[in-house]
């Protein structure tokens, strides 16, 4: 992604294949510069927000749990990315930066806070779920951002919640966690679904981007 020079900086590690999905949201904020650590890393002390995007499974060495069957872990894990993201989460929380975590990003956030994962779940990685809003949700009545159905496509998800995380929404059919927030924190939102691929999720990005650099 070609970042536009400006006064606000977002740190992320993003796959090339995902850049096209996020570009329209960043185009609305030309004063935000996106530092993609997959290509070039910027000084984190100059970051004003952290975006954790989708990707391969968290590498087993970073998990807070045993892996009885290593075959369930995807082959394309990226320990360098996991190491960068776990460190970035720690630094972002220390500084109170806004954090938006998506799919694998939510799982990494949960691991960073001491939580564990369901390592392989059925029925959450069907083709229609990648881009169609077909996964029915239930939400806590206090949830700020609520969606009736979402485009949730994944094979891992939160099991034990990390410290401070609070469930906002979950799958209506099997209670898999689909949305969390970090309690008593300015803004840290994690979603298991893929708002960057949908048409109904502008409010999530608007909320996150409005908080970047606004502390």
Q: Are 125 and 155 in contact (CB under 8 A)?
A: yes
Query: Quick check: pTM over 0.75?
Result: yes
Residue 208: enclosing H or E segment and its boundaries? helix 202-211
pLDDT tens digits, residue range 89-122? 999 999 999 999 999 999 999 999 999 999 998 8
Q: Which is catalytic among the residues 29, 103, 124, 168? A: 103
- DSSP letter at 153? -
Q: In what order do the strands lie in the sheet with 135-139?
A: 32-36, 8-13, 49-52, 99-102, 188-191, 177-182, 165-171, 135-139, 149-150
pLDDT tens digits, residue range 124-149? 777 777 788 889 999 999 999 999 99
Domains for the chain: give ranges and CATH numbers. 8-211 (3.40.50.880)
Would you place residue 3 in the very low, low, confident or very high pLDDT band (cuts 50, 70, 90)? very low
Whether the predicted pLDDT of 153 surpasses 50:
yes
Q: Which is catalytic among the residues 19, 85, 168, 196? A: 196
Q: Write down the pLDDT at residue 2.
A: 36
- DSSP letter at 58? P
Whether the predicted pLDDT of 190 surpasses 60:
yes
**Which is it for the CA torsion 214, 104, 122, 163, positive or negative?**
negative
Q: Are 13 and 39 in contact (CB under 8 A)?
A: no
CA distance 186 to 164: 13
Would you place residue 215 in the very low, low, confident or very high pLDDT band (cuts 50, 70, 90)? low
pLDDT, averaged across the chain: 93
134-142: Cβ within 8 A, 24+ apart: 135/171, 135/178, 135/193, 136/171, 136/172, 136/173, 137/169, 137/170, 137/171, 137/172, 137/178, 137/179, 138/169, 138/170, 138/171, 138/172, 139/168, 139/169, 139/170, 139/179, 140/167, 140/168, 140/169, 142/168
CA distance 108 to 62: 9
Q: Write down the pLDDT at residue 42.
A: 82
CA distance 95 to 46: 11
Q: Collect all residues with Cβ–Cβ distance below 8 Å to 40 and sequence separation of at least 6.
A: none
Among this protein's residues, is 103 annotated catalytic?
A: yes
């Amino acid at each position: 992604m070609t970042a536009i020079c400006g006064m606000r900086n977002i740190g992320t590690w993003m796959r090339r294949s995902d850049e096209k999905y996020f570009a329209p949201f960043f185009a609305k904020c030309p004063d935000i510069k996106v530092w993609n650590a997959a290509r070039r890393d910027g000084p984190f002390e100059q970051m004003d927000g952290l975006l954790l995007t989708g990707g391969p499974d968290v590498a087993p060495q970073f998990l807070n749990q045993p892996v009885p069957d290593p075959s369930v872990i995807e082959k394309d894990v990226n320990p360098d990315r996991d190491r960068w993201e776990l460190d970035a989460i720690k630094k972002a929380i220390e500084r109170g930066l806004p954090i938006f975590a998506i799919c694998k990003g939510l799982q990494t956030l949960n691991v960073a806070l001491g939580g564990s994962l369901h390592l392989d779940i059925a029925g959450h990685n069907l083709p229609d779920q990648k881009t169609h809003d077909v996964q029915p949700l239930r939400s806590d009545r206090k949830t700020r951002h609520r969606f009736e159905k979402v485009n949730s496509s994944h094979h891992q998800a939160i099991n034990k919640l990390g410290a401070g995380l609070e469930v906002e929404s979950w799958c209506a059919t099997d209670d898999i966690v689909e949305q969390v927030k970090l309690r008593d924190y300015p803004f840290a939102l994690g979603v298991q679904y893929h708002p960057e691929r949908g048409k109904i999720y502008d409010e999530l990005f608007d909320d996150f981007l409005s908080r970047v650099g606004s502390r």
